[in-house]
Amino acid sequence: MTKSIPFRVLLIVVLIVLGAVYLYPTLRYEELSKEETQKLVELSDLSGIPLNTLGAEIYRDDVDLKGQIEESELDDAAKAAAIEKVEYLRGPFYRSLKYNRAHAIKRGLDLQGGMYLVLEVDLVKLVEDAAKNKDDRFRRILAELRQRVLVSDINVLETLEELCTREGISLSSYWGEPGQTDESIRHDLREAADDAINRSLEILRNRVDQFGVSEPTIAKLGARRIAIELPGVKDPARARELIGRTALLEFKLLTDPDRTREILTAIDNTVKARMGLDTTMAATDNAAADTAVLAETDTTAVDTSIVKAEELFTEPGAEVGELDTGAVAENPFLSLLLGGTNNILVPQKNRSQVNRIIHSLEVRKSLPPDVEFLWSNAPEDFEQGGEPLWILYLVKKEPEQTGATLADARSTIGSGYEPDQAGKPIVEMSMTRAGGRTFARVTGANVGKRLAIVLDDKIHSAPQIRGKIAGGNAVITGMRDMNEARDLAIVLRAGALPAPVQVIEERTIGPSLGNDSIEKGKVSLLLAFLAVTLFMIWYYRLSGGLADFAMILNVFLLMAVLAIFQFTLTMPGIAGIILTIGLAVDANVLIFERIREELRLGKTVRAAIDTGFARAVVTIIDANVTTAIAGVVLLLYGTGPIKGFALTLTVGICVNLFAAIVVTRLVYDILTERLHIKRLSV
Amino acid sequence: MPQFLQKTNINFIQARWTAITLSSLIIVAGLVTLIIRGPNYSIDFRGGLDVHLRFEKPVTEGEVRGALSALDLGVAEVKRVRTLGDPDEILIRVKQSEVAGDLVPRMETVLHETIPDNPFEVRHVEAVGPKIGHELRNQAILSAVIAIILILIYISWRFEFKFAIGGIAAIFHDVLITLGFFAFFNYEISLQVVAAFLTLIGFSINDTIVVFDRIRENLKKLRTMSLAEIMNLSINETLSRTVITSVTVFLVVLVLFVFAGPVVRGFAFAMLVGVVTGTYSTVFIASPVVLEWAQRTAIKGKKRR
């Protein structure tokens, strides 16, 4: 307060200039010049691309506008004119626009549209995979662990230990080397878990970087979560697929056709036995004695079966309408399948039924331990009346080789004569030298057999090995379109995630909602500003104008702080700025009222201002601290857009104090000391 | 110059029992509504999937519901959301136990097929796993408790403890009344609304502190007056400021409520109610509670002697 007037004026001017410099890119980015807008409109007219799409895409590196125009159905003259415009817009203008964009206040996902995902790394699966000697007790412990993890965010390893202690066993029963202490196993598991999360983070970053979104962010969130932001993502479904998949590539041998047939027949018999049992039970429903006897024999087989008895035999009859009931009764399982020589084909409508049977507890128990059922990745139309068919494969559980030995993967359009490759999108893989040697050995030893290419437990193809394959090259087929092939190549290059991830939170904001929010935010800002300004001038006259000036400065400095520190502005953040407009005049009101009171007591203008200020400042600080407490708590505990609100509110309060205590005081000092005002309009 | 609030002399303290009775009635009515209807949690706390669609041509909820019946969605709710000055949106709300990634694309495909020639745009998708919902709720409660404790500590430090009691009474008053309004108008309680509650706590206590400040100052200056008289004087002296600040904040919040769109509407509604109750509680609740507290502890003190 004792500093001279010129010094304070200088300080404020410097701050304003600094703020203006930092805010310039934001304003410039917000409003294109007339010439640029003109060009954009012309380009839009020529190319038929909507103006707002153009406006959003003109600055994006990953959008090939020229390519789009080349591929479009315009005539050559129009193409040339359009390309000239694109070149202008992507020339010096583009560079300055990019610069402005980089230095403008960042817009949150809720303002620019985009996708926010929270993924959780499945540590339970990791722990499960690391274990050996898995028995029923182990499965029980794991099931409980999974249940607990599902409902709350707990430490997986600690809970696992707690469960083991409760069961009275040590970690070494299932984990670690023989003779390893629990302490050391715990350490290893924790390290494996940390490593899994860090690797997942790295792999996801690789995938997202290659996906082609401008400025994605990926960050660790807590102990085992990863948050991903994809601004302006165009195809959320594709992004979700690319990020969420494990991308575990395996090569597995199919079981011999003879053995497959044997196993299928065995399953058929199991199901038939079970159905017979159920029918008998239904028929003798009122004969209590019989049921009791049957139920006794039944207990071992049924116990905790996932498949309920009635589901097993009511639905096939209902779903498989065209099959005569005799066949269904004779072969309840086999009648759901088609073909059989080379592939087991399953019509789309039977798929869930078949799935339920092969995953039922009885079938799983009777299945040899070294084999498993896997589905094809997508149904196919075999020109067979249009009904899409799935292929069910029986493969050896243990993979011959995994994607860990992959060196590179590229998507391309297949050539040659192979019907499932020629002219279709494929992914070509090449292996590392060691991987190539393993592949040569595996293929050499299994000539004539079929080798399935399995990706995330779905079989893309299962070609017959015609001879030893040297050089370590393989091809994945069965993609719907080029995008899928491209995404697959990306995930294969980036590598498989060490453990599956689950999406536990997703928020996607469409571009139009983002634009609407910005427009509504601007309108609200303007209206709030007008309402407060007019009210203050009406009520306090000249001093009201002064409070308005302080408020404008307030909002200006608040925005400048956002720009200087590259903070992100969200819709609740805009609400925070608008609220600041309402709160900003408060400090000045307190000062006016005090000065008014002092004047009423008969003091001179000079004395009234001095005492009025001194008293008001105490109150202003006391009053603002409480709002700041609320703001800071929100800043610490809030998530996502709420943080944006807390930020503008807190910064707003700080700037507010500055504007009232320093700037308003300065204006009064100038009025009294330099202009010798004798009467105050308060 | 309008000076309608220049020098008032209203006996607020005398009206305290009328005010407390009125507030209690409103709070009880609000709480009863809240208990009967149950809190209307938004997806943030409830978990599940919300999909907002905007169709080019109007569609009925029935059409969308019919189209979606092809998918096995479990408990799904389809409703039309009307907002002032905007085209209607269709909200599809699915209760699901986990965030199923492929559900939204499947919905889109089915809707495109079943309702042809009426393109729609996916405006907003929110999927929150049950675990996250739980955590967000705990976090929100925790942050509110921390904020209240910190404010209590600050007031106790700057003033006397009995003032903190008055401030906290005002906070609970405002929050409970606003909650009642939420229940009554069936607004959803979301993360943003919790943020609004914390802000209105800050705002309401801000007003109250200005009055307390004046009481403290007058207590030193006017030693002959009774506490009740000083309170009345202080409230009257600060009345003009209290009203002006509330009016400006009310104006901007009203603008937010009407013009800023659905994203912040819940927030604006909470603030709208909060500003009014905050001002009211500053004048009619906070100081009288301090007065009652002071008088009762004084009587108890005398009895002990």
For A397, which DSSP code?
Answer: S
Residue partners of A442: CB distance under 8 A and separation at least 6: A251, A400, A401, A451
Q: Which residue has the higher pLDDT, A50 or A28?
A: A28
Relative orientation angle of helices A511-564 and A641-658, to the nearest 10 degrees: 40
CA torsion, points A348, A350, A352, A357, in degrees to nearest 10?
-150
For A389, which DSSP code?
Answer: E
Could you tell me the domains of chain B? 16-42+132-304 (1.20.1640.10), 48-128 (3.30.70.3400)
Q: Which of A211-215, A471-475, B277-281 has the lowest mean pLDDT?
A: A211-215
How far is Cα of residue A122 from the mean position of the Cα atoms in its chain? 16
Kindly provide the residue ranges of all beta strands, DSSP E only, lying in A214-289, ordered along the sequence. Answer: 217-221, 225-231, 249-253
In B, which residues are within 8 Å of A570 by CB distance? none
How much is the pLDDT for A374? 92
- Asked if pLDDT for residue A278 goes beyond 60, the answer is no
**Which residue in A has a C-alpha nearest to residue B107's C-alpha?**
A237
* β-bridge partners, A452: A252
Residue partners of B80: CB distance under 8 A and separation at least 6: B60, B61, B88, B89, B90, B91
ipTM higher than 0.95?
A: no
In B, which residues are within 8 Å of A505 by CB distance? 99, 127-129, 132
> What is this structure's pTM?
0.79
Select the residue of B98, B247, B252 nearest A578 (Cβ to Cβ): B252
**d(Cα A321, Cα A324) in Å, to the nearest integer?**
8
The closest of B115, B122, B62, B54 to B82, measured between CA atoms, is B54
**d(Cα A87, Cα A91) in Å, to the nearest integer?**
6
pLDDT digits (tens, 9 = 90+) for A223-256: 789 999 998 887 888 888 888 888 888 999 999 8
Q: Which of A8-17, B132-141, B167-176 has the lowest mean pLDDT?
A: B132-141
The closest of B133, B142, B45, B47 to A152, measured between CA atoms, is B133
DSSP A112-151: H-EEEEEEEE-HHHHHHHH--S--HHHHHHHHHHHHHHHH
Kindly provide the residue ranges of all beta strands, DSSP E only, lying in A177-271, ordered along the sequence. Answer: 217-221, 225-231, 249-253
Q: Which residue has the higher pLDDT, A530 or A466?
A: A530
For A360, which DSSP code?
Answer: S
* β-bridge partners, A118: A227, A505
- Asked if pLDDT for residue A291 goes beyond 70, the answer is no
B131 with A150: Cβ contact below 8 A: yes
- Asked if pLDDT for residue A416 goes beyond 80, the answer is no
The closest of B262, B205, B240 to B83, measured between CA atoms, is B262
Of chain B residues 81-140, which have a CB less than 8 A from chain A? 86, 98-99, 101-102, 104-105, 108, 121-132, 134-136, 139-140
The CA-atom distances, in angstroms, between A181 and each of A161, A164, A372, A582, A622 are 13, 14, 35, 64, 59
How much is the pLDDT for B203? 86
Q: What percent of chain A has pLDDT over 90?
A: 15
B125 with A236: Cβ contact below 8 A: yes
In B, which residues are within 8 Å of A575 by CB distance? 256, 260, 264, 267-268
Establish if B25 touches chain A: CB-CB under 8 angstroms.
Answer: no
Its sign, for the CA torsion B232, B235, B239, B243, is negative
pLDDT digits (tens, 9 = 90+) for B11-69: 888 888 899 999 999 999 999 999 999 888 888 888 888 999 998 888 888 888 888 88
The closest of A462, A465, A447, A401 to A260, measured between CA atoms, is A462
A622 with B123: Cβ contact below 8 A: no
Angle, CA of A567, A569 and A574, to the nearest 5°: 135
How much is the pLDDT for B21? 92
The closest of A316, A247, A228 to A454, measured between CA atoms, is A247
Say which amino acid occupies B111.
L
Structure tokens at A408: 């590179």
Structure tokens at B252: 């901007």
Confidence of residue A366 (pLDDT cuts 50, 70, 90): confident
A637 with B241: Cβ contact below 8 A: no
pLDDT digits (tens, 9 = 90+) for A311-363: 333 333 333 334 445 566 677 888 888 765 578 888 888 888 888 888 887 88
Angle, CA of A584, A586 and A592, to the nearest 5°: 125
How much is the pLDDT for A33? 64
In B, which residues are within 8 Å of A636 by CB distance? 143
**d(Cα B199, Cα B201) in Å, to the nearest integer?**
5
- Asked if pLDDT for residue A114 goes beyond 70, the answer is yes
